[in-house]
Homo-oligomer: A and B are copies of this chain.
Amino acid sequence: MAIRRYTKMEYGSPDEMVFGESKYPVSYGLGQTVGAGVVVPEINFAPRPGAEKNPESLRREYVDYITKDILDRAITLGFPTVQLENEHIFQMVNEPEKYAKPVVAGQKELMQKYYDEHDIALSIRHTLADPRLAEEGLRPGMDNKHSYPEKCIHSIEVAAENGADLLSIESTGGKEVADYAILRQDIRGWLFGIGYLGSIDMAWLWPQIVDIAKKNKVRAGGDTNCAGANTSMFMAGGYLDRDIPRTFAAVTRAIASARTLVAWECGATGPDKDCGYEGPIVKAIAGKPTSQEGKDSHCAHADLMGNLIAQTCDLWSNESVEYHPEFGGSSVQCWLGSIGYEAALMNTAKQLKQDKLLRDLYMATDRYRSPEAFILAYDNAYKIGLAITEHGNDIYLRAKAAGITAARLIEDESKAGKLRLSKHEQDMLRKIITDLSALPDEESKFVDQCLKAYKDVPMFNPRNYDL
């Protein structure tokens, strides 16, 4: 499968972007269309501890309890459309026939029933687990201990064949280097890990997913960089955290978006996965629908852009919540209430032709809450998209350009504008700009440099990336 790199923007200007609309809407599932004028709530969940005990207990948890609760609540509140996301747990990728198949099939069967009875638009995203371990080998034939690469691909097939509407994954290529780099604030290492190695790994993985999707007449959604940029964001945290500076996290997000784009370049149609916050950038480039999460995904993690990130979403997600009882119902029902109502608000704004205004309110609320929020504001996201497409054919240069552009945007605004940085964030920003500026202009030189510098990083094996 040929990879078609993005070398120009699908959107002509930032202002064209708004939630609930994308250049290339996608239809799938049971009457579902995403990106064509309606924001759809996407509800994610995790089983209770112990549910994984055996295949039947897991099926019951996912189907009889979680899926049923969600569908009932959607009808109860009058939501016209809902997407479910099931993030596969380890057992489901390790023994897909045994653990995943009954879940995938059972969910779809129940959804079909509600679709038939109530005419509610429904779809389900299956996010396959990526269990591959760099230390054992990322490609087929390399991991003699667990055969994870083979199992990973097989589990995608099982999902596609048994009822998934949308296939996604948070692939982990290059993570071993990024993990090392993040703890040392080494932006070059991070760029190498995610921007470069991650893009190579995705170019291996995603054509296979797209093929499987095509064969089964379902959709290949997209990837997000949970493994990298979300880890940065998570560790950078909020105003009480001191693990890593938020300027570093912001720049890694920009770099990650150059990587996340690869799924779509391999033929995936979107909607992109929630979980990552690269959506505004990749949507600006490719015009495909994205799922985003923010203020209503605090069940899963806090962020510093809870409203802003809704600005250009097509699905609005809660990221994930453990299934358990609350006063208001089960946890999935409660969070569905929040995301469903937020989606309804956005849809009202669309109907009243006030969507761009609401978008701007979302954006303005958090524009200066953190550097990451700032670079993801749709105008800045667009600029980062431009930097990526300018070097669209070179996975190294485009990731670097994304990083530098983000860093410069932050720098300029912190000097002349309203974005305030702590001293430590400023120091880090200066170091990032210096480090990135010092990098060579050629891929081969960069790779040589990095292979040398990171050869002792635990678990890093260049053969995983054909290097």
Contacts and interface: CB of A to CB of B under 8 A. Distances in A.
A364 to B, nearest CB: 5
A345 B328 contact: no
A302 interface: yes
Nearest to A368: B78
A304 interface: yes
Contact of A76 (B241, B294, B307): B241
A345 B320 contact: no
A341 interface: yes
A322 B351 CA distance: 37
Interface in A427-448: none
Given A321-B326, A361-B348, A341 B295 contact: yes
A6 interface: no
A302 B76 contact: yes
A6 to B, nearest CB: 32
A300 B327 contact: yes
A238 B327 contact: no
A184 B338 CA distance: 33
Contact of A300 (B73, B238, B296, B328): B328
B299 A341 contact: no
Given A300-B327, A320-B327, A365 B337 contact: no
Task: List 3 tightest A-B contacts by C-beta distance, closest first.
Answer: A298-B337, A76-B238, A295-B341
12 contacts: A76-B238, A78-B239, A294-B341, A295-B337, A295-B341, A298-B334, A299-B327, A301-B328, A321-B327, A322-B326, A344-B366, A348-B365
